[in-house]
Structures are given as structure tokens and as C-alpha cells.
């Protein structure tokens, strides 16, 4: 499909309308391959919500429309909390370092011989909570 034909905003319009009609069904997980695509979808969502607020006819409708949260979760580079890895400027470097610190074989070696290899403590803590 060609770009600029309104595919994203059409999809978001349908979903937001559905969510407003069924308030218990409020979670949408929108996945995309690249950070720019997610940023574009979030910008479309923001414009859509602003439009819906401007069209609200009563204070109650306006409040209902304003009670909408959109959250973009993107790339390791933007989400990493590791004190050393998060200082890296390039996404590919962050990805590589993250893979090095979370590799299954590396984590297993760290369990068998603590301190022998560097691992991501946050990743390991999360894995330990799941088991």
C-alpha cells in the first residue's frame, strides 16, 4: 500500500472509538518494525485524540476523551537502564552490548561461576522473578 493514504489513522480511529464504547477494553498493543514508524503512529494518535476532544459536545464527553493514554515503547537504545550500555550513542552498539550481556550461554556461565563474566543484572533479576 502506498504511504500517505490514511491507513494508520483509519486503524487508530476504529480502535479508539471501540475502546471508548467499551471502556473495559482499553489496551492496544501496536507493533512496528522501526522507531520512526512508532513515532509516526504516536503522532497520528495524538492528532486523533485532540480531534476527538475538539468534537466532544458535553463536558462529560470531553473528559472521557481526555482520559486517554498512549505510550510508545521503542528500541533498546531508548529503554535500556544498564548504567554502562545506556551511555552508548548508537543503537547498533546498544543492541550488540545488550545481546552480549543477556546471551543465554553467558547468563548460564554467570550462574555456574558468579563474577566470571559480565551480565545485565536487570535482565537476570527479571528472569529470576519469572521463575
Give the predicted TM-score (pTM) of the model. Answer: 0.65
Give the least confident one: 27-31, 47-51, 52-56: 27-31
Rg, Å, the chain Cα set: 21
**Count of helices and strands (H, E) across the chain:** 7, 0
Percent of the chain surpassing pLDDT 70: 94
Q: What are phi and psi of 16, to 5 degrees?
A: -65, -40
- pLDDT tens string 105-120: 988 888 899 889 888 8
- pLDDT tens string 57-114: 999 999 988 888 888 888 888 888 888 998 888 989 999 999 899 888 988 888 899 8
pLDDT of residue 48 exceeding 90: yes
Q: What single-letter DSSP state applies at residue 85?
A: G
Amino acid at each position: 500500500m502506498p504511504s500517505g493514504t490514511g491507513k494508520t489513522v483509519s486503524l487508530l480511529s476504529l480502535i479508539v472509538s471501540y475502546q471508548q464504547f467499551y471502556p473495559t477494553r482499553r489496551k492496544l498493543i501496536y507493533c512496528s518494525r522501526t522507531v520512526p514508524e512508532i513515532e509516526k503512529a504516536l503522532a497520528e494518535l495524538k492528532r486523533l485524540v485532540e480531534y476527538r476532544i475538539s468534537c466532544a459536545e458535553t463536558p462529560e464527553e470531553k473528559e472521557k476523551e481526555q482520559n486517554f493514554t498512549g505510550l510508545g515503547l521503542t528500541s533498546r537504545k531508548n529503554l535500556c537502564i544498564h548504567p554502562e550500555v545506556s551511555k552508548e550513542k548508537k543503537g547498533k552498539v546498544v543492541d550488540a552490548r545488550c545481546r552480549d550481556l543477556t546471551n543465554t550461554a553467558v547468563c548460564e556461565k554467570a550462574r555456574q561461576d558468579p563474577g566470571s563474566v559480565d551480565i545485565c543484572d536487570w535482565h537476570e533479576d527479571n528472569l529470576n522473578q519469572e521463575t
